[in-house]
Amino acid sequence: MVEKRVDAEDGQAYTYEDMCAYYKGQYKKAAMNAYWETCRVAGKKGAAKAKVKAKAKAKVKASAAAKTAKPKGQFKVVVCGGAGGIGQPLALLMAMNPAVGELSVQDLTVAMVPPAGVAADLGHIERPAKVTGFAIDVSLPAKDQMKECLEGAHLVLVPAGMPRKPGMTRDDLFNTNAGIAKGLVEACSIHCPEAILGLIVNPVNSVVPAMATLYEKKGLDPLKVIGVTTLDCVRANKFVATATGKPVSATRIPVVGGHAGKTILPLFSQDRFGKTLTEEQIKELDPRTQDAGTEVVDAKGGKGSATLSMAYAGAKFANAILAGLGGKATTECAYLKSPVGGEDCPFFTSKIRFGKKGVDKIHDIGTLNEHETTRLVEVKAQLKDEINKGLEYAKDKDLAKE
């Protein structure tokens, strides 16, 4: 008799072939084999048959969705701060995405490298994207200089802003970067109000509530303004895969809460490999995920922060948004206006499904174990103040009408 094993995702039994057929395109062979090895051997025939049918249906649905997807090169993406440490590799990764037909690389006239140079460089890549550079004068309003850059954009990624320098307080960083973000968000509210804005600029925990509230005050959808926290998931996935010896491509740790220090909460218990970590490993990997940025700053001798891994994570986020807009709903963790954090934390990171119009579904955080429940209290205590700082900033400000 052919062996069947129980898929922990739904508790049903399948043959190896059934399981491979279902997960085809989602997991590579090595990841699939590793997953199979984690599944308990079972023998219930009836349940397996029913499930195979359900899965076959899901497959048909998936291929139907793929067939209705829009043609390649249909999206316009803008990278603000595109000549910076994150901006350049992020622009490269966006130029490589075949769904991107137009890419604007925007930065300041005083940037280290002229954005037109970055655009000329990327313009030689064998991909459909037409790449154009735009430089703005920092002494003039961004909105008056960015019409061409932004018009028709579907997605605007914002790694424009200062990284935290030694001696700089969190307040200094917030005031500087909120000012930069406000100018760019204001320009988007005028020239591409339907676009999704992915804010990478720190401190995300405060900048996103400030900018989403300004959008809402102007009568626009606050869910268009999204904080990019993908790097936390990327790091947690890598750390868990390394600790367990399992394939990183099949590791998916949701990281919820916020995007700074203790507000970063990896939910190891919700991943098939993460849930096998020992208490000792959790004690090491939870704080490591929170402080992973410092590892990079220290290794770069204080001469830079995470730029390449951030660009990778930013592109992962962008690819999820573009896949959703193109008709293939895709889920990633992100920080946005949300009911999930309760009254005290009206902005929260959880799993978000992105669809044809952007945010399609905000998932709840699911079941937590004891450690995660304790940590969630800590998350909310810190996040609440950081959100309030953003809301306070937006209180007496408005985005210009035109």
What end-to-end distance do the CA atoms of the chain give, in Å?
71
Question: If binding is defined by CB under 6 A, does position 390 make contact with ligand NAD?
Answer: no
> Which segment (38-46, 79-87, 342-350, 361-369) binds ligand NAD by CB under 6 A?
79-87
The letter for the amino acid at 37 is: E
> Which segment (52-60, 209-217, 265-273, 306-314) binds ligand NAD by CB under 6 A?
306-314
Question: If binding is defined by CB under 6 A, does position 52 make contact with ligand NAD?
Answer: no
Q: Is 191 a catalytic residue?
A: no
Question: If binding is defined by CB under 6 A, does position 292 make contact with ligand NAD?
Answer: no
- Rounded Cα distance between 87 and 400, Å, is 26
- Which is the catalytic residue, given 124, 154, 191, 259? 259
- Among 85, 83, 79, which residue's Cα sits nearest to residue 102? 79
Residue 170 in contact with residue 196, Cβ under 8 Å? no
Three-class secondary structure of residue 139 per DSSP: coil
CA 80 to chain centre: 16
Binding test (CB under 6 A) with ligand NAD, winner from 39, 92, 103, 108? 108
Q: Measured from the CB of residue 252, what is the shortest distance to ligand NAD in angstroms?
A: 18
- Rounded Cα distance between 240 and 286, Å, is 10
**What single DSSP character describes residue 194?**
T
Closer of 23 and 347 to ligand NAD (Cβ): 347
- Among 167, 182, 200, 395, which residue's Cα sits nearest to residue 302? 167
- Rounded Cα distance between 372 and 96, Å, is 38
Question: If binding is defined by CB under 6 A, does position 81 make contact with ligand NAD?
Answer: yes
Closer of 179 and 339 to ligand NAD (Cβ): 179
Question: If binding is defined by CB under 6 A, does position 209 make contact with ligand NAD?
Answer: no
- Among 369, 364, 361, which residue's Cα sits nearest to residue 342? 364
Beta bridge partners of 157: 79, 198
Question: If binding is defined by CB under 6 A, does position 107 make contact with ligand NAD?
Answer: yes
Closer of 136 and 359 to ligand NAD (Cβ): 136
Residue 236 in contact with residue 333, Cβ under 8 Å? no
Closer of 7 and 107 to ligand NAD (Cβ): 107
Question: If binding is defined by CB under 6 A, does position 346 make contact with ligand NAD?
Answer: no
Binding test (CB under 6 A) with ligand NAD, winner from 89, 161, 198, 209? 161
Q: Measured from the CB of residue 326, what is the shortest distance to ligand NAD in angstroms?
A: 24
Question: If binding is defined by CB under 6 A, does position 202 make contact with ligand NAD?
Answer: yes
Question: If binding is defined by CB under 6 A, does position 315 make contact with ligand NAD?
Answer: no
Dihedral angle over CA of 99, 125, 111, 300, nearest 10: 90
Query: Which spans of this chain sit near ligand NAD (rule: CB under 6 A)?
Result: 80-81, 83-87, 106-108, 111, 136, 138, 142, 159-164, 177, 180, 183-184, 200-202, 204, 228, 231, 305-307, 310
